[in-house]
A and B are shown apart, each in its own frame.
Chain A
């Protein structure tokens, strides 16, 4: 079974803090993705990576950066958290680009 894990299920941070969200997959997948999910807006792609050290902007990259130093790990970084970044963050990985497997999500609240 594919297993995608995210470092925290719930996180509360203050405005201006630097926030790291970690994602690890154990299936040797090349592709990894970060989404955010908001009511009424659905899932939106923030960044994705097709290989180690490689990153591509998704539809809403502003305010975020990513790091992929190892194949199994993809980190999402909020350089200076803002209240409008309060959301559910979902990591996904895939062997083929299309068939993506999601982690359990991190519910981030920025106060």
Chain B
């Protein structure tokens, strides 16, 4: 079945640093999504990408849909303590039962 490889698994950074994480797959996807989940809460949708090559920003967050449709990355600029959480990528393919496939998550820790 389809799998998403998300890296890194965890990051420990200093406040103010930029962060980059990515997801890759052997399969192509029609949609890439990025979520953030804080402890004890549900995932919150950060950015949705619908076209290959699309680059979208949401505040300090920027995500891109890879040209090959097999990857996506998320950048966070000038991190702050409230960025702490687990970031998940998810890919969607319409002709494979219409299910979201999730990455394993990147746990982000920000040191003030």
B42 nearest CB neighbor, chain A only:
A102
Of B43, B45, B98, which one neighbours A97 at CB under 8 angstroms?
A: B98
Cβ contact within 8 Å between B102 and A42: yes
Number of A-B contacts (CB under 8 A): 44
Within 43-79 of A, Cβ neighbours of B (below 8 Å) are at 43, 45, 58-59
- 20 chain-A/chain-B pairs, Cβ below 8 angstroms: A4-B42, A42-B105, A43-B43, A59-B99, A90-B42, A97-B98, A98-B30, A98-B31, A98-B33, A98-B92, A98-B98, A98-B100, A100-B33, A100-B100, A102-B42, A102-B44, A104-B41, A104-B42, A105-B40, A105-B41
Cβ contact within 8 Å between B94 and A97: yes
Within 90-112 of B, Cβ neighbours of A (below 8 Å) are at 92, 94, 98-100, 102, 104-105
Give Cα distance in the complex from A42 to B98, angstroms. Answer: 18
Residues of B within 8 A of A97 (CB): 92, 94, 98
Interface presence of B76 (CB below 8 A): no
Chain A 84-111, CB-CB to B under 8 Å as 1, else 0, gives 0000001000000111111111010000
Residues of A within 8 A of B45 (CB): 99-102
Chain B 11-37, CB-CB to A under 8 Å as 1, else 0, gives 000000000000000000011010100
Residues of B within 8 A of A90 (CB): 42-43
Min CB gap B73→A, angstroms: 19
Min CB gap B39→A, angstroms: 11
Min CB gap A34→B, angstroms: 12
Give Cα distance in the complex from A90 to B45, angstroms. Answer: 14
Residues of B within 8 A of A42 (CB): 102, 104-105
A41 nearest CB neighbor, chain B only:
B104
Interface presence of B48 (CB below 8 A): yes
